[in-house]
Chains A and B, each alone.
Chain A
Amino acid sequence: MATGSTDIVACPDCDLLQRVPSVRAGETARCPRCGRALATGKTDPFDRTLALALAALVALVLANTEILMELSARGRESSTTILGGAREMWRQGERVSAVLVCFFTTAAPAAYIGCMIALLLAVRRPPAPRWAGTVLRWAETGNLWSMVEVMMLGILVSLVKIASLADVRPGIGFFAVGPLVFLLAAMSTSFDPREAWSRVRWENGYWPGSDR
């Protein structure tokens, strides 16, 4: 029977074969040899994550479209958004860095949030379609390269750096970045990829170890 095989896993970090015990909300099952977390009990791995993802989408749009900071000095004003910063870098000839920054701060988090919303809608009624697994893989890649929290620290450091030259005021976009960081972190901690994978329909439909 195919479903029996998911209780026994090999630790992804040390390959130790073991049975994963059922965990209650807030509990974590760890590999006894290397201490890697194998399963974490979640109260509501899909609906709560979906709510957080929708909120994160709003925060991402605000953080990217609204003004991040405004600066005034000597009777002049200037302001920037996240993409405006990248555009200015592009204009100054740092094209590679500009594209990378767009990818880390906008494209990767957008891919993560978008794929998670699609995935969470798909796994609500198992068996989930085959493409859900592919989308989950994209979401994990997006999450690996999303650096919104690093950008937030970067904004704070640059605020202090410029504060000695001129008068700097944070804008609406700035106040959207904080919640965005929080929502992205809450999304990945409330989500249970094991449970999501267990709902995905198999490519070949049988466990290779079983007698065909």
Chain B
Amino acid sequence: MTRPPPTAALAGFVSCGTCGLLCRPAEAGKPGECPRCGEPLAFRLPESIERTWAYVVAAAVCYLPANLLPVMTTTTIKATTESTILSGVIHFYTTGSWFLALIVLVASVIIPLGKLGALAYLLVTVMRRSTGRPLERARLFRMLKAIGRWSMLDVFVVMFVVALVRFEPFMSVVPGPGVPFFAAVVILTILAADAFDPRLIWDPAGKTGGTGG
């Protein structure tokens, strides 16, 4: 094997997670604080894997009620209908707005589910110290960080529909119990991506290069 890639950690440096300054800690075990911005320094985010798993599991728990509980209850003189995220998608599709059906399906169902699966995959490969396809995994992680917020779409849709459709007693729309679960899924997956340290993807490459054994 060739020599391991020159990473900051192998060279005894630590880069500040806030301002990016490259620092050499006085003691190897205690990185201390960044001399420029004063934030605590760490070679890797502390307890990154454990914290990311915690957020992923919590988000997965909220994912089911978010999709099964109604997000909107529409009351007219004739009837009361409860709609879930999926029934909203089906409604758009059957009324001819297949493009909107696709947007809501992707933003509300596919992105959160894909994000949970992808984060679990990244966590498992990092825990197994896998060296395969690091570039693809790094790109996957950057994509996760970029698209996560779009899942909040349906919460905004519910809010504006609820605020506008107020024709008591003819018709009214009330937010359903699925909404807070839905918001929780989005927030927890954003926090999960924030807690994950992408440098863990690349660390095994340095170890197999020779220093470890």
A contacts, CB < 8 Å to B: 5-6, 8-10, 12-17, 33-36, 68-69, 71, 73-74, 76, 78-80, 84-89, 92-94, 96-97, 100-101, 104-105, 133-134, 137, 144-145, 147, 150-151, 153-155, 157-158, 160-162, 164-166, 168, 194, 197, 200, 202-209
Q: With A and B bound together, what is the CA distance between A200 and B39 in angstroms?
A: 14
B33 — nearest CB in chain A belongs to which residue? A203
Complex interface: chain A residues within 8 A of B149 (CB): 147, 150
B164 touches A158 (CB 8 A): yes
* Most chain A C-beta atoms within 10 Å of own C-beta, residue among B5, B154, B161: B161
B26 — nearest CB in chain A belongs to which residue? A208
A197 touches B170 (CB 8 A): no
B164 touches A14 (CB 8 A): no
Contact of B167 among A76, A97, A147 (CB under 8 A): A76
A15 touches B202 (CB 8 A): yes
A137 touches B201 (CB 8 A): no
Given A14-B198, A15-B199, are A71 and B135 also a contact pair (CB < 8 Å)? no
Complex interface: chain B residues within 8 A of A16 (CB): 5-8, 202
Sampled A-B contacts (28; CB under 8 Å): A10-B13, A12-B199, A15-B7, A15-B8, A16-B7, A33-B135, A71-B165, A74-B170, A78-B166, A78-B167, A89-B159, A89-B163, A94-B179, A133-B36, A134-B37, A144-B190, A150-B152, A153-B107, A155-B156, A157-B153, A157-B157, A158-B160, A160-B97, A202-B36, A203-B36, A207-B24, A209-B13, A209-B24
Q: With A and B bound together, what is the CA distance between A161 and B23 in angstroms?
A: 54
B15 touches A15 (CB 8 A): yes
For residue B28, CB closer than 8 A to chain A, the reply is no
A10 touches B22 (CB 8 A): yes
B36 touches A161 (CB 8 A): no
| Contact mask for chain B residues 119-151; partner A; CB cutoff 8 A; 1 contact, 0 none | 000000000000000110011011000000110
B38 — nearest CB in chain A belongs to which residue? A203
For residue B61, CB closer than 8 A to chain A, the reply is no
Contact of A204 among B35, B92, B141 (CB under 8 A): B35
20 further interface pairs, Cβ-Cβ under 8 Å (given A9-B20, A76-B167, A157-B157): A6-B21, A10-B8, A13-B202, A15-B203, A17-B7, A34-B138, A34-B198, A36-B138, A85-B159, A144-B190, A150-B156, A157-B153, A158-B160, A162-B161, A200-B19, A202-B35, A203-B34, A203-B38, A208-B25, A209-B23
For residue B68, CB closer than 8 A to chain A, the reply is no
Complex interface: chain B residues within 8 A of A133 (CB): 18-19, 36-38
Q: With A and B bound together, what is the CA distance between A131 and B150 in angstroms?
A: 32
Complex interface: chain A residues within 8 A of B6 (CB): 16-17
Q: With A and B bound together, what is the CA distance between A36 and B139 in angstroms?
A: 9
Given A36-B138, A69-B160, A208-B24, are A147 and B18 also a contact pair (CB < 8 Å)? no
Given A197-B20, A204-B35, are A165 and B138 also a contact pair (CB < 8 Å)? no
A71 — nearest CB in chain B belongs to which residue? B164
B contacts, CB < 8 Å to A: 5-9, 11, 13-15, 17-26, 32-39, 92, 95, 97, 100, 103-104, 107, 134-135, 138-139, 141-142, 149-150, 152-167, 170-171, 174-175, 179-180, 183, 187, 190, 194, 198-199, 201-203
Given A92-B174, A157-B103, are A203 and B37 also a contact pair (CB < 8 Å)? yes
Q: With A and B bound together, what is the CA distance between A88 and B141 in angstroms?
A: 37
A12 touches B167 (CB 8 A): no
Complex interface: chain B residues within 8 A of A154 (CB): 152-157, 159-160
A197 touches B37 (CB 8 A): yes
Min CB distance, B187 to chain A, in Å?
Answer: 8
Min CB distance, B140 to chain A, in Å?
Answer: 12
Complex interface: chain B residues within 8 A of A104 (CB): 152
Q: With A and B bound together, what is the CA distance between A162 and B159 in angstroms?
A: 12
